Structure 1
Amino acid sequence: MLMQGSGKAARVHYLAGTFRLLSDGDHVICAMTGARIPLHELKYWSVARQEPYIDAETSLKAEAKASS
């Protein structure tokens, strides 16, 4: 269940199109902004870098930064 570990950051393994919880929690932290992302709102991440992002714009910025 996604809501276990309320108030605690989850450890997540990011896969293509899905993710797998490695430890209970209810959120992750955006790799670029430091914003808290509730698991039920998590939509953007990098499989290669294993990083979550708050939104599409931030994901694109991370990709551009990694490519430079």
Structure 2
Amino acid sequence: MLMSPGRPAKLHYMANNFRMLVRGDHVVCAQTGVAIPLDNLKYWSVERQEPYATAQAASAAMLPPPIA
């Protein structure tokens, strides 16, 4: 996979994999803001087109927002 070191990638997330739209070496977790190296990317939402650093972050993204 072609990568650009130190640069965030832009991906299109699909059910079992992703397609690189803009080359880079990482994406940023939508929940935590942590950089995720593409080699370690395991969790994402096809519906929301968002990456997540951990299973816990992915689960938290699916919960409804707290009622104030």
TM-score w.r.t. length of structure 1? 0.91
- Of Structure 1 and Structure 2, the greater helix share is in 1
Cα distance in 1 between the residues matched to 2:64 and 2:34: 18
Larger Rg: 2
- Show the 5 A alignment for 1:1-68: 1-2=1-2, 4-65=3-64
The alpha carbon displacement at 1:17 in A equals 1.1
Q: In structure 1, how many angstroms separate the alpha carbons of the residues matched to 2:4 and 2:41?
A: 16
Measure, in 1, the Cα distance between the counterparts of 2:49 and 2:64: 15
SS of 2:60's partner is helix
Q: Distance in 2 between matches of 1:55 and 1:65?
A: 18
Question: Which ranges in structure 2 are unaligned for 5 or more consecutive residues?
Answer: none
Deviation string 1:4-60 (CA, Å, 9 cap, x unpaired) is 211000000000010000010000000010000000000000000000000101100
- Aligned residue type for 2:52: Y
In the comparison of the two structures, how many residue pairs are matched?
A: 66
- Separation in 1 of the partners of 2:50 and 2:59? 12
Percent identity (aligned): 52
Equivalent position SS for 1:62: helix
